[in-house]
Amino acid sequence: MVAVNPYIGSREIAVEIRHLFDSPIDVQADEQWSYVGNKKNQRWLWYAIDAVTGCVLSFVFGRRQDAVCEQLISNLKAFNIRTYYTDDWGSYSSLIPKDKHIIGKQNTQKIENKNLLLRTRIKRLTRKTICFSKLEELHDTVIGLFINRYCFQSS
């Protein structure tokens, strides 16, 4: 599969994702908060990564509600997922089949480390900062562009 990213011009990037659809994979999912405008207007980044490669498979923005988690899980249906590793947030338990769901911090270390990386590199995700978004659209776009560039653009 060859993709053209409009943000980096006409340079083509070859992306091999076939293995993600063919063989079963393990997924780590988590959510992290930030805010738009003020700390009362929380904005959550929900995302899932391949537990082996650390590649971001899907991400969505919204509140910390079942509907947003459901959107993330729905996006992941394109992959052949063997096991979901998450924390004990109730949305995961209600939406992921029990036979495919393992709860616990011992299996989410890679995504927790990615949370730290995102907070370090994207100041809008830092809890105490002077850099914040005033519009949800701008907030989501900046973070989404970083994830796309960091995960899919080779240097």
Quick one: pLDDT at residue 82? 95
**pTM of this prediction exceeds 0.75:** yes
Structural domain contains residue 19: no
User: Residue 39 is part of a domain; what is its CATH number?
Assistant: 3.30.420.10
Phi, psi of 65 (to 5 degrees): -135, 160
* The pairing of beta strand 38-50 with beta strand 25-36: antiparallel
Structural domain contains residue 14: no
Structural domain contains residue 120: yes
| Structural domain range at position 81 | 25-152
Q: Which residue has the tokens 């616990």?
A: 104
Structural domain contains residue 40: yes
Asked whether residue 106 carries a pLDDT value surpassing 60, the answer given is: yes
Structural domain contains residue 86: yes
Number of domains forming the structure of the chain: 1
Asked whether residue 20 carries a pLDDT value surpassing 70, the answer given is: no
